[in-house]
């Protein structure tokens, strides 16, 4: 039996890590929760600790967030070192090798087991477009030197996520579209059939219920409208209104849900404006809802990371990208649009939406 550690710093990392853990269900699978924000994983740690059907043990770094950065880092490194001394790692998975916790774990683990594998788990668009600052001089040279001096010479600078020397293998949703900086690694496609495993869907249900979300209400939704932050629209209210009207023009009986941006300032007012629409909790990651949505559900949004990951849990998911001529120009980048086109996601105007919905017949 092998021992696998999963370093998780986002809901997407957790879901992909759960997928891989289920593929290695005969192994000892240990999840390490390292939140990017204080209290981000409050439900994760408790829910995972209550049910060990996917992970045999849970290590959470959520406590201690009020400590000073240096003392908190030392605390985390001590926990990692102790865990690896007790249970030597055969594989260490991570959604980002830019986190010092992962690189330190690889440094310690390789001293115990020289054969340990560092494995990158798809983090989203960076796997296919590269890091936005990868050609920046500070990103390539100054920052790496500083981190080596602060952390230790074991630090390996990833030009883009997943490219550090600690990573030998990458698990991707779209292997054929991988960024050139990751092509030297062993590439493994994510097994999307595992997302249908009852243990996986049960995990999503428990996480949502812990946040007082009625998972049953999500299952009947016909259309989900995914919104970017209001700052990206010339008129956010008019944008949402146009999408709702376009869906109703096709079929007024369709059940609509709207997923506001996590930092949305208009979620509450939208609920008052559209009382018949289900508004998904803006603070809950879109990825947690997707495994529970029915196959025929259509997901509509503009070119964004949320829309990009919408069909990761089902190849048959219907997705429509709506072009935004009134959007802030920097929001839509050519390489991102090209990536959507390679995935076969149609990009249309709002006026074409009823016709496109008629073709999909949600």
Q: Is 204 contained in some domain?
A: no
Distances in Å between the Cα of 123 and the Cα atoms of 6, 96, 162, 201, 251 are 13, 7, 9, 20, 36
Same-domain status, 299 and 260 = yes
Phi, psi at 360, each rounded to 5°: -85, -30
Mean pLDDT of 175-193: 93
Of 151, 168, 196, which marks where a domain is finished?
A: 196
Same-domain status, 172 and 287 = no
Q: Is 203 contained in some domain?
A: no
pLDDT band of 54, cuts 50, 70, 90 = very high
Tell me the per-residue pLDDT of 203-243, one tens digit each, with 9 for 90 and over: 999 988 888 888 888 899 999 999 988 887 888 888 999 99
Please give the residue range of the domain that contains residue 121. 3-196
pLDDT at 56: 94
Global pTM? 0.89
Percent of the residues in the chain that have a pLDDT greater than 70, as a whole number: 88
User: What is the signed CA dihedral for 101, 106, 108, 110, rounded to 10 degrees?
Assistant: 180
pLDDT band of 154, cuts 50, 70, 90 = confident
Same-domain status, 16 and 85 = yes
Q: Is 281 contained in some domain?
A: yes
In this structure, of 12-26, 35-49, 275-289, the range with the lowest mean pLDDT score is: 35-49
Of 145, 162, 196, which marks where a domain is finished?
A: 196
Phi, psi at 95, each rounded to 5°: -85, -10
The total domain count for the chain is 2
Q: What is the CATH number of the domain that holds 266?
A: 3.40.50.11110
Average pLDDT, the chain: 86
Same-domain status, 191 and 320 = no
Same-domain status, 294 and 339 = yes
Q: Is 207 contained in some domain?
A: no
pLDDT at 38: 53
Q: Is 343 contained in some domain?
A: yes
In this structure, of 23-37, 54-68, 129-143, 260-274, the range with the lowest mean pLDDT score is: 129-143
Tell me the per-residue pLDDT of 293-334, one tens digit each, with 9 for 90 and over: 988 899 999 877 778 888 787 777 889 988 876 554 454 466
In this structure, of 40-49, 150-159, 263-272, the range with the lowest mean pLDDT score is: 40-49
Same-domain status, 351 and 276 = yes
pLDDT at 329: 47
């Amino acid at each position: 039996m092998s021992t696998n550690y999963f370093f998780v710093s986002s809901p997407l990392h957790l879901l992909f890590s759960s997928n891989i853990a289920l593929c290695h269900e005969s192994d000892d699978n240990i999840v390490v929760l390292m939140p990017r924000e204080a209290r981000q994983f409050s439900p994760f740690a408790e829910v995972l600790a209550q049910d060990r059907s996917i992970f045999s043990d849970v290590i959470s770094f959520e406590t201690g967030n009020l400590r000073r950065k240096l003392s908190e880092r030392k605390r985390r490194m001590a926990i990692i070192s102790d865990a690896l001394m007790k249970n030597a790692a055969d594989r260490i998975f991570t959604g980002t090798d830019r986190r010092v916790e992962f690189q330190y774990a690889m440094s310690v683990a390789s001293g115990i087991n020289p054969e340990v594998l560092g494995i990158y788990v798809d983090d989203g668009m960076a796997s296919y477009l590269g890091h936005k600052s990868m050609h920046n001089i500070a990103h390539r040279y100054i920052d790496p030197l500083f981190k080596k001096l602060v952390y230790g010479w074991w630090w390996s600078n990833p030009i883009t996520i997943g490219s550090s020397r600690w990573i030998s293998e990458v698990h991707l949703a779209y292997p054929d579209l991988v960024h050139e900086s990751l092509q030297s690694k062993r590439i493994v496609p994510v097994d999307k059939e595992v997302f249908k495993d009852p243990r996986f869907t049960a995990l999503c249900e428990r996480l949502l219920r812990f946040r007082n979300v009625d998972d049953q209400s999500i299952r009947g939704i016909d259309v989900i409208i995914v919104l970017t932050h209001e700052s990206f629209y010339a008129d956010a209210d008019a944008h949402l209104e146009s999408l709702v009207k376009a869906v109703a023009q096709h079929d007024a009986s369709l059940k609509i849900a709207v997923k506001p941006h996590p930092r949305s300032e208009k979620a509450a007012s939208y609920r008052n404006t559209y009382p018949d629409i289900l508004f998904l909790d803006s603070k809950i990651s879109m990825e947690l809802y997707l495994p529970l949505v029915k196959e025929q559900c259509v997901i509509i949004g503009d070119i964004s990371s949320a829309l990009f990951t919408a069909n990761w849990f089902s190849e048959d998911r219907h997705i429509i990208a709506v072009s935004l001529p009134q959007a802030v120009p920097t929001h839509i980048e050519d390489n991102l649009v090209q990536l959507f086109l390679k995935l076969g996601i149609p990009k249309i105007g709002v006026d074409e939406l009823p016709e496109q919905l008629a073709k999909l017949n949600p």
